[in-house]
Amino acid sequence: MRCGALSGCLRSNPLLCEEWTREQGYIFRVGAARQIFLSGAPEANIVGATASLLLQVDEAQDVAIDKFDKDINPMAASSNATRIFWGTAWNETTLLARELDSARRIQEVTGRRQCFVLNADQVAAEVPAYGAFVKQQIERLGRDHPMVSTQFFSEMMPDAGGLFNEARLALMRGQHFSKTSPQAGGRYAFLLDVAGEDAGLTSGREMQNPGRDATALTIVAIQALENTPWGVSQVCYRVVSRRAWRGVAHSRLFEELLALARHWRAFKLVVDATGVGAGLANFLERALSVRVIAFQFNAASKSRLGWDFLALIDSGRFQEHCDATPEQEQFFREANACKYTLSPGSDRRLQWSVPPSTRDRHGKEIHDDWLMSAALVSLLEGEIQAGGSPTSIIRAQDPLAVIDRQMRFK
């Protein structure tokens, strides 16, 4: 129980409301009994505190194992105080997962229950409102999304491995066909992962270097999903076309992208503005006004991009066309080769990419150009209205004018 929640309970308890005191902000006392709240952050200086009856570790999956073993666990040593760990384990490398495994082994030996693992279905049986909330999250993110499976169903995900398993790959396979031109009334967005130029390249020439990264363009059609089960409008993104450039001068690339954007009447352009992509994104933004969304890759932003991309996939809202084009086949090879790890800590940073020097069965090196291009679709979520109607402002009445009118009638 956190400090705020405990304060509320004590104030509302008729037996204790006049008896408890709070010291230094983090110590609660009732008579001779004390409950002390301490931080488990790596930098917290908590050495020397003791637990005589009970040691609780809340959100134990976020506490570093070294921090617990060195600074926290010794607090229970003098009295062998009972230790309780709360939280969601996430994966096998967390403190909570280690203690859960230890408790299960003790439980098997002694026959006394040591572990209490609940899932959303069990909680929903007692709290219907919670069940309705979880149902909404499943509709929005998908049942297999890590946030859903770990936080609501107490399922641990592997610490590393392939990010796009067979189930996710299947979810991405749609039933629509690819296109070479826009349809009347359709809304389209460009997703551009930018590669660098070859040194010494002159405008209008291409260097033959098939092993290098490519500038990859994914074109998606934006379709509204009406009458979603939980009542909130969403959109589905369907890949309709792809285009790639390798070793092309950015001046020529800019001209071709501009022509394509006008041909498709692109509603939005999401552009990788990292490094050399910044200039291209700037030129496109000037030529196409506010339709350009510039994105810069770094460890934190790429992690968020990965989580958001998984949410679209797991909820069935990102779909590939059903035509087996070479570009699509390469996309699925990249997705199949993509690996991930989770960094320790509360931010759960997702590190994901195709490992360097990964090759397919023919010995050809696999990059992640198409994969990163497709993942940029998640940047559209905060930019597009599902219904496609323009933004409207509902102006509230001026409260002073209302009072003034009321006074006149008195």
Q: Tell whether 40 is covered by a domain.
A: no
How many domains is the chain built from?
A: 1
pLDDT (tens digit per residue) in 249-302: 889 999 999 999 999 999 999 999 998 899 999 999 889 876 899 999 999 999
User: Which pLDDT belongs to residue 231?
Assistant: 54
Q: Tell whether 114 is covered by a domain.
A: no
Angle in degrees, 0-180, between the axes of helices 277-288 and 250-264, rounded to the nearest 10 = 40
pLDDT (tens digit per residue) in 333-351: 999 999 999 887 677 889 9
Q: Tell whether 280 is covered by a domain.
A: yes
Give pTM, 2 decimals.
0.73
User: Which pLDDT belongs to residue 392?
Assistant: 39
Q: What six digits make up the tokens of 231?
A: 């009542």
Q: Tell whether 322 is covered by a domain.
A: yes
User: Which pLDDT belongs to residue 63?
Assistant: 92
Beta strands 160-162; 268-272: pairing state: unpaired
The DSSP code sequence of 332-401 is HHHHHH-EEEE-SSTT--EEEEPPTT-B-TTS-B---HHHHHHHGGGGGTTT--TT-PPP---PPPPHHH
User: Which pLDDT belongs to residue 386?
Assistant: 45
Q: What is the dihedral of CA 398, 401, 403, 408, to 10 degrees?
A: -160
Q: Tell whether 390 is covered by a domain.
A: no
Angle at 34 between CA 32 and CA 40, to 5 degrees: 160
Q: Tell whether 109 is covered by a domain.
A: no
User: Which pLDDT belongs to residue 214?
Assistant: 87
Range of 351's domain? 162-380
User: Which pLDDT belongs to residue 48?
Assistant: 86
Q: Tell whether 20 is covered by a domain.
A: no
Residues of the chain where predicted confidence (pLDDT) is lower than 70: 1-2, 196-212, 226-233, 290, 345, 384-410
Q: Tell whether 51 is covered by a domain.
A: no
CATH number of residue 233's parent domain: 3.30.420.240
